[in-house]
C-alpha cells in the first residue's frame, strides 16, 4: 500500500486489517482511476494478484458495454462531485467470467481538500441477485398464474377488509375493473341483508380465529345482479407471524346450484311419477281382491234379506261375510304394515315353538308339490312381535316361494342365532329351490305394489308387508338369490330375554261389570251405531257423542265409568280429549280406538289404553276389562 500518512506501526496494523477482509474487495485508486493498493478480498473476488493489477486502470473490471458508455469515468466524476458513488452491475474477473457486484466509491482528500484519489469497495452479490431474480421470476409467474385464472376471483384484503389487488377472474365474475375496486371494502359484494346482519365482519373474524372461512351464499355483481358464490377466506401472516391481511377466493357456483335445483325437481317429479305408477299398479291388484270380497259380502247380504231363508243357510252366509271381513282387514293391515302405521299388538313368543306349530298350517296351504321342512337351529328364539303379523309375513314368504316353484320343490324354514347392529337377534330363513331372481328384481322386491305376477294375481304387498313387519319389530328383512339356485329370505328380529306370553282361551267374552256407564265418542255414524250396539250387548249403559267437544260437555253434566273414543276426528282428536280428561278427571279410564298408530302420547298410563280397529265383542270386552282392572289397582295404590 502507498504511504497513508499513518505512523509506521499503525500503518502495518491497518494493512493487516484490510488484508484480513476476504468477503470484500478493498483497494485504492489514484485521481485518474489507476489501482494503487490491493487486498486479499479483491484478489479472491477478481482473480488478480497485487503484482498483476496495481497500476492498471480500474475500468478493466467493467464490461465492454459499460466501458463504451464511459461508466468508469462517470463513476469517478460523481464520487468526486457528490462525495459518493454506489451502483450494482456486472463486472469481469481475470478469467473473463462475470459476477454481479455491489460497488461503492468514496473520494479521498487531504487536509487542504485536494483530491488524493478514491477508496473503492466491491462485493460479489451474484448469489443474492440470483435468489432475488428467481424470487422475482417466481412472483411474476405466480402473478401471471393468478391473472390467468378466469373462473375464480382471487384477490387480497388488508387487515380491515379493504381490497389491495384484483385479478382478471374477479373482474369477469364481479364486473369491476381493478381501478374501480382496489381500495374499496369487500362488503360491497354482499347483499343488503348480509351487510346489515354483519356477515362480512363475521367472515373475517372467523377466518382469523379458525384459520379459514368457507361458505356458499348470494353475492352482488357491479350491475346489481345476484350470483351464488363459493367463498374461501384465509388469513395471511408474514414471516414473523404478524397478521397482514386476507387471501380471498370466490367462485361463481350459480350453474352448479341451478343444476342441483333441477336435479331435486327431477327427483321430485320422479317420486311423483312413482307414486302415480304405484297407484296404477294398486288398482290392478287391490281393486281385484276387494271386488272379490265385496262380491261375496254383497251376495250374502242379498240372500239374508229373504224371509224364508233356512237357518242353516243364514248361518253359512253370515260366516261367509265374517270371513270376507277378516280377509279385507288382513289386506288393509298389509298396507299399514309397510307404512308402519298399523297398531301392533306385540307379545313374547318362542319362534322355534311357534313356527313348528305354524308349519302344519303352511304345509296344507302350499299343496302336496311342495316339501316343507321346519328346522330350529337357534338356541334362544324368543322375540317380541305381533304373532298375526309374524304369521302373515311367513305365509307371504312361503306363498312367494311356492309360486317360484311351479313344478314343485323344497322349502326350508329355519331359525338361527345372529347378531344385528351389535345385539343378539334371531333370523328366520325361508329358502326355496326355485328359479331365483335377477339383481334388478332383488333391488325392487320390497317396494310396495311391485310384483312380477300378472295383473289380478297379486297386489305386490307380500314382501313389502314382510319389510314393514321386520321394521316395526326393530329388525330387518334381507333377500339373497341366484338364478337357477333358489332364493333365501331372512327376517332378522331382536332377541329378548323374556318368557313367552300365556294365551287366554279364545272365543269367550271377557266379563265386565254390568251397567257400566260408558261415554262413546265417534264421528262416523255407522261405526258409532255399531259400537253402541256392541256396548249395549255387553251390558253397558251407553251415551253417545259425535265429537270431543260434545263429550267434554257431557262429562260436566253426568258421571261415567269409562270413555271409549275414536282417535281420528275433526277438531279435537281422541288424543286431545284424553289429555283434557287427564286434567279434569285424572281417574277416569279412557279407551282409544284407532286403525293405525305409531306412538301415542300418554300410552302406558294406567287410565289409558289403545284398541286397534277393526274390533269385535271379544277384543272390546277384553280391552275394557284390562283397563278397568288396571285403573282400579292404580287407584288402590294411590289411596
Write out pLDDT tens, residues 376-426. Answer: 899 888 999 888 778 778 887 888 888 888 888 999 999 999 998 888 999
Section 179-199 average pLDDT: 92
Rounded Cα gap, residues 527 and 509, in angstroms: 20
The three-class DSSP label of residue 321 is helix
Looking at residue 368, its pLDDT comes to 77
CA 349 to the chain's CA centroid: 38
Rg (CA), the chain: 49
Looking at residue 460, its pLDDT comes to 44
Q: Is 125 exposed, middle or buried (0-12, 13-18, 19+ CB in 10 A)?
A: middle
Going by the DSSP 8-state scheme, the letter that residue 223 receives in this structure is T
Are the C-beta atoms of 184 and 174 separated by less than 8 Å?
no
Looking at residue 631, its pLDDT comes to 77
Looking at residue 454, its pLDDT comes to 46
Looking at residue 618, its pLDDT comes to 84
Are the C-beta atoms of 109 and 116 separated by less than 8 Å?
yes
Name the band, by pLDDT with cuts 50, 70 and 90, for residue 450.
Answer: low
What would the pLDDT profile of 333-379 be if each residue is shown by its tens digit?
655 544 444 455 788 888 888 887 767 667 766 777 888 888 889 98
Domain spanning 347-494: which CATH class is it, in words?
Answer: alpha beta
pLDDT, mean over the chain = 81
Residue with cell 296404477: 280
Rounded Cα gap, residues 71 and 267, in angstroms: 79
Show me where the domains of the chain are located.
8-130, 149-252, 265-339, 347-494, 517-638
What would the pLDDT profile of 516-542 be if each residue is shown by its tens digit?
999 999 988 878 888 898 899 889 999
Range list of H helices, 30-125: 40-46, 50-53, 64-68, 71-82
Looking at residue 455, its pLDDT comes to 43
- My answer on whether omega of the bond before 614 falls inside 30° of 0, hence cis, is yes
pTM over 0.95: no
Are the C-beta atoms of 36 and 3 separated by less than 8 Å?
no
Are the C-beta atoms of 234 and 210 separated by less than 8 Å?
no
What would the pLDDT profile of 241-262 be if each residue is shown by its tens digit?
899 999 889 988 888 888 888 8
Rounded Cα gap, residues 304 and 319, in angstroms: 12
Q: Does residue 569 carry a pLDDT above 80?
A: yes
Q: Does domain 265-339 have CATH number 1.10.3470?
A: no
Least trusted range by pLDDT, from 109-123, 433-447, 520-534, 610-624: 433-447
Do the bridges between strand 347-350 and strand 243-252 make them parallel or antiparallel, or are there none, so unpaired? Answer: unpaired
Q: Which residue has the higher pLDDT, 96 or 472?
A: 96
Hey, do 8-130 and 149-252 end up sharing a CATH topology, with the first three levels equal? yes
Residue with cell 352482488: 220
Superfamily of domain covering 8-130: PAS domain (3.30.450.20)
Least trusted range by pLDDT, from 139-153, 239-253, 612-626: 139-153
Rounded Cα gap, residues 562 and 518, in angstroms: 5
Rounded Cα gap, residues 52 and 78, in angstroms: 28
Rounded Cα gap, residues 479 and 490, in angstroms: 6
What torsion do the CA atoms of 522, 523, 524, 530 make, to the nearest 10 degrees?
20
Q: How far is CA 375 from CA 413, 415, 439, 485, 615, in A?
A: 6, 7, 28, 20, 35
Rounded Cα gap, residues 328 and 459, in angstroms: 13
Among 500, 608, 598, 596, CA closest to 564 = 608
Range list of H helices, 572-616: 574-584
Q: How far is CA 387 from CA 343, 391, 395, 501, 611, in A?
A: 13, 6, 12, 11, 16
The three-class DSSP label of residue 411 is strand
Q: Does domain 149-252 have CATH number 3.30.450.20?
A: yes
Least trusted range by pLDDT, from 79-88, 201-210, 465-474, 578-587: 465-474
Least trusted range by pLDDT, from 128-137, 259-268, 307-316, 454-463: 454-463
* % of the chain surpassing 90 pLDDT: 34
Looking at residue 272, its pLDDT comes to 59
Which grid cell sits at 476? 330387518
Q: Which residue has the higher pLDDT, 144 or 462?
A: 144
Q: Does domain 517-638 have CATH number 3.40.50.2300?
A: yes
* % of the chain surpassing 70 pLDDT: 79
* Residue 543, φ and ψ in degrees, nearest 5: -120, 135
CA-CA-CA-CA torsion sign (164, 169, 173, 177):
positive
Q: Does residue 479 carry a pLDDT above 80?
A: yes
Section 283-305 average pLDDT: 69
Q: DSSP states of 613-624 as a string?
A: SS--HHHHHHHH
- Cβ contacts of residue 234 below 8 Å, gap of 6+? 207, 211, 212, 246, 247
Amino acid at each position: 500500500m502507498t504511504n497513508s500518512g499513518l505512523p509506521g506501526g499503525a500503518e502495518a496494523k491497518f494493512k493487516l486489517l484490510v488484508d484480513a477482509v476476504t468477503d470484500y474487495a478493498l483497494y485504492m485508486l489514484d485521481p485518474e482511476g489507476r489501482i494503487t493498493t490491493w487486498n486479499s478480498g479483491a484478489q479472491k473476488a477478481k482473480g488478480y494478484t497485487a503484482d498483476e493489477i496495481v497500476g492498471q486502470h480500474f475500468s478493466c473490471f467493467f464490461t465492454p458495454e459499460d466501458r463504451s458508455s464511459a461508466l468508469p469515468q462517470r463513476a469517478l466524476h460523481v464520487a468526486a462531485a457528490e462525495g459518493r458513488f454506489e451502483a450494482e452491475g456486472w463486472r469481469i474477473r481475470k478469467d473473463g467470467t462475470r459476477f454481479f457486484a455491489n460497488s461503492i466509491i468514496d473520494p479521498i482528500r487531504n487536509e487542504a481538500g485536494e483530491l488524493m484519489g478514491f477508496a473503492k469497495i466491491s462485493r460479489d452479490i451474484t448469489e443474492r441477485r440470483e435468489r432475488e431474480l428467481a424470487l422475482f421470476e417466481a412472483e411474476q409467474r405466480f402473478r401471471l398464474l393468478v391473472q390467468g385464472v378466469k373462473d375464480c376471483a382471487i384477490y387480497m384484503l388488508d387487515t380491515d377488509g379493504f381490497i389491495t389487488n384484483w385479478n382478471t377472474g374477479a373482474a369477469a365474475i364481479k364486473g369491476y375493473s381493478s381501478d374501480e375496486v382496489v381500495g374499496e371494502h369487500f362488503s360491497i359484494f354482499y347483499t343488503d341483508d348480509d351487510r346489515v346482519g354483519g356477515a362480512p365482519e363475521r367472515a373475517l373474524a372467523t377466518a382469523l380465529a379458525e384459520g379459514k372461512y368457507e361458505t356458499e351464499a348470494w353475492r352482488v355483481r357491479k350491475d346489481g345482479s345476484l350470483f351464488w358464490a363459493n367463498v374461501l377466506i384465509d388469513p395471511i401472516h408474514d414471516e414473523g407471524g404478524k397478521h397482514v391481511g386476507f387471501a380471498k377466493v370466490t367462485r361463481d357456483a350459480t350453474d352448479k346450484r341451478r343444476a342441483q335445483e333441477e336435479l331435486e325437481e327431477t327427483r321430485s317429479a320422479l317420486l311423483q311419477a312413482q307414486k302415480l305408477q304405484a297407484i296404477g299398479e294398486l288398482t290392478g291388484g287391490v281393486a281385484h281382491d276387494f271386488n272379490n270380497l265385496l262380491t261375496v259380502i254383497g251376495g250374502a247380504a242379498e240372500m239374508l234379506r229373504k224371509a224364508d231363508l233356512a237357518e242353516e243357510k243364514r248361518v253359512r252366509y253370515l260366516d261367509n261375510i265374517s270371513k270376507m271381513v277378516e280377509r279385507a282387514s288382513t289386506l288393509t293391515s298389509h298396507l299399514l304394515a309397510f307404512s308402519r302405521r298399523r297398531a301392533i299388538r306385540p307379545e313374547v313368543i318362542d319362534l322355534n315353538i311357534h313356527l313348528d306349530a305354524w308349519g302344519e298350517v303352511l304345509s296344507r296351504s302350499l299343496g302336496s308339490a311342495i316339501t316343507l321342512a321346519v328346522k330350529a337351529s337357534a338356541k334362544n328364539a324368543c322375540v317380541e312381535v305381533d304373532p298375526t303379523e309374524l304369521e302373515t309375513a311367513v305365509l307371504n314368504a312361503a306363498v312367494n316361494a311356492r309360486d317360484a316353484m311351479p313344478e314343485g320343490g323344497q322349502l326350508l324354514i329355519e331359525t338361527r342365532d345372529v347378531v344385528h347392529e351389535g345385539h343378539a337377534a334371531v333370523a328366520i330363513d325361508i329358502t326355496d329351490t326355485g328359479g331365483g331372481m335377477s339383481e334388478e328384481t332383488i333391488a325392487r322386491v320390497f317396494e310396495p305394489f311391485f310384483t312380477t305376477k300378472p295383473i289380478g294375481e297379486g297386489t305386490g304387498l307380500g314382501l313389502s308387508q314382510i319389510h314393514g313387519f321386520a321394521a316395526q319389530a326393530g329388525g330387518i328383512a334381507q333377500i339373497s338369490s341366484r338364478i337357477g339356485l333358489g332364493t333365501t329370505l331372512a327376517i332378522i328380529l331382536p332377541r329378548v330375554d323374556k318368557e313367552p306370553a300365556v294365551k287366554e282361551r279364545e272365543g269367550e267374552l271377557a266379563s265386565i261389570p254390568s251397567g257400566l256407564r260408558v261415554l262413546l265418542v265417534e264421528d262416523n255414524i255407522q261405526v258409532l251405531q255399531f259400537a253402541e250396539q256392541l256396548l249395549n250387548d255387553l251390558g253397558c249403559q251407553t251415551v253417545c257423542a259425535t265429537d270431543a267437544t260434545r263429550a267434554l260437555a257431557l262429562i260436566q253434566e253426568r258421571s261415567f265409568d269409562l270413555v271409549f273414543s275414536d282417535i281420528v276426528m275433526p277438531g279435537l282428536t281422541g288424543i286431545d280429549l284424553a289429555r283434557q280428561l287427564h286434567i279434569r278427571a285424572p281417574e277416569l279410564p279412557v279407551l282409544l280406538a284407532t286403525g293405525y298408530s305409531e306412538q301415542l302420547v300418554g300410552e302406558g298410563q294406567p287410565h289409558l289404553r289403545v284398541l286397534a280397529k277393526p274390533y269385535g265383542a271379544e277384543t272390546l270386552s277384553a280391552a275394557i276389562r284390562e283397563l278397568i282392572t288396571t285403573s282400579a289397582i292404580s287407584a288402590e295404590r294411590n289411596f
